[in-house]
Structure 1
Amino acid sequence: MSDARSEVGSPTRLTVLAGPTAVGKGAVTSWLRENHPEIWISVSATTRKQRPGEVDGVHYHFVDDARFDAMVASDDLLEWAVVHKQARYGTPRGPVLEALAEGRPALLEIDLQGARQVRERMPEARFVFLAPPSWEELVRRLVGRGTEDEAERERRLETARAELAAEPEFDAVVVNHTIPAAAEELIELMRS
């Protein structure tokens, strides 16, 4: 990688943000998108159903199983995984490489399985774990968003327990007490 300088102030380096379900990864990245447009944020492809308020190409690239299979077969994804034993999610490779080549600070917001794959392919990336203030707060946030039924909440909480145990695999941890504070702490890590 070249020694291109980003507007954040450090050599361009991919940052990977992961953490358990309902910890606020999407909210933190949305805040960054609105307040730090110099940061390029990857848009994942997914086979899950589009939720109310989500915009295709902004929140996710919503694709069917056949399109996702084609992306996997042609190695168009930097990483991909089955999440919550249901939908598949993946990071399109081309846009990530383009952003880094342009010298832009780049951020991937992905799940634990994807972060592990990116570590194998791009070990020079910075890996940041977004943690909840407590287990009780994580459960409150998941229930409070009201986007999953009881069975889906239980499936996600089961996944979250395993995801929380992976915290030591990451280079840094940001506790999401509030979205702006967590986002600013993430910016500081990207600058370091």
Structure 2
Amino acid sequence: MMSQVQNRRGLLIIVSSPSGAGKSTLTTRLRKWDPSIRFSVSATTRAPRPGEEDGREYYFRTREAFEEMVSKGEMLEHAEVFGNFYGTPRGPVEAAMLAGNDTLFDIDWQGGQQIRNSSLGKDVISIFILPPSMVELEHRLRSRGQDSDEVINGRMSKSLAEVSHWAEYDYVLVNDDLDRCEEELRTILSAERLRRERQPHLTDFVRRLNKEYEGK
């Protein structure tokens, strides 16, 4: 596992994909590779389900409290889904960034677009995961054995709409080999962490090098 780069601002890592493309497996592996990566916890107005805890699965908020957070600019992104609001609170993300920790977002293209257009956009890297084919994507959805034909057809239709936004992302990976795709994901993160502008300590380091030379 690559160690966390010190003395830098944390990254906001947006990973999107159609359902069944392997995003959840890949992001789980990425966090296992580097446990310092923080997973973004969303806020929602829906009621907690049995076993869910506030601050773990979601930050559970009333509709009034959620709308107040939006009006105060405390949400990086938000949307209404089936009558409930979902969104990303700004505070925990900014705290993680300042501590030098990366935050991983499992969100769709709309949420990703809102975050990229926010004041934190310069710290975003966005990655879209494509399936090897739509036939394989449908096979993966059906192999789960969880959904009816009607639900799967709906997911496939939504997948086509999501894939149409692939060109809005910084990186696009085709998940035709899970291990290779994971390696590519690691490579992207490792390289992005080493960008000059993400290592503010280098300025002082180079100054010390200059002073060391001048003092010879």
Where does 1:58-137 land on structure 2 (aligned, <5 Å)?
58=56, 60-61=57-58, 63=60, 66=63, 68-82=66-80, 88-121=85-118, 122-124=120-122, 125-137=124-136
Give the counterpart of 1:7 among 4, 7, 23.
4
Give the counterpart of 1:27 among 5, 25, 28.
25
Higher relative contact order (CA 8 A, sep 6+): 1
Once the two structures are TM-superposed, the CA of residue 150 in structure 1 deviates from its matched residue by: 3.6
Unpaired runs of at least 5, structure 2 = 192-216
Match of 2:181 in 1: 182
8 Å contact kept, 1:31–1:179: no
SS at match of 1:78: strand
Q: TM-score, normalised by structure 1?
A: 0.77
Kindly provide the CA deviation profile for residues 114-141 of structure 1, in whole angstroms up to 9, marking residues without a partner as x.
0111111133211111111111121122
CA distance in 2, matches of 1:10, 1:191: 15
Change (3 A) 1:186 1:167: same
Amino acid in structure 1 at the alignment position of 2:78: W
Structure with the higher helix share, 1 or 2 = 2
Once the two structures are TM-superposed, the CA of residue 47 in structure 1 deviates from its matched residue by: 5.6
8 Å contact kept, 1:19–1:25: yes
Q: TM-score, normalised by structure 2?
A: 0.70
What's the Cα RMSD here?
3.1
Of all paired residues, the percent bearing the same amino acid is: 36
Unpaired runs of at least 5, structure 1 = 1-5
CA distance in 2, matches of 1:87, 1:147: 24
CA distance in 2, matches of 1:149, 1:62: 31
8 Å contact kept, 2:109–2:162: yes
SS at match of 1:32: helix
State the number of aligned residues: 184
Change (3 A) 1:160 1:190: same
Amino acid in structure 1 at the alignment position of 2:11: R
Larger-Rg structure: 2
8 Å contact kept, 2:47–2:60: no
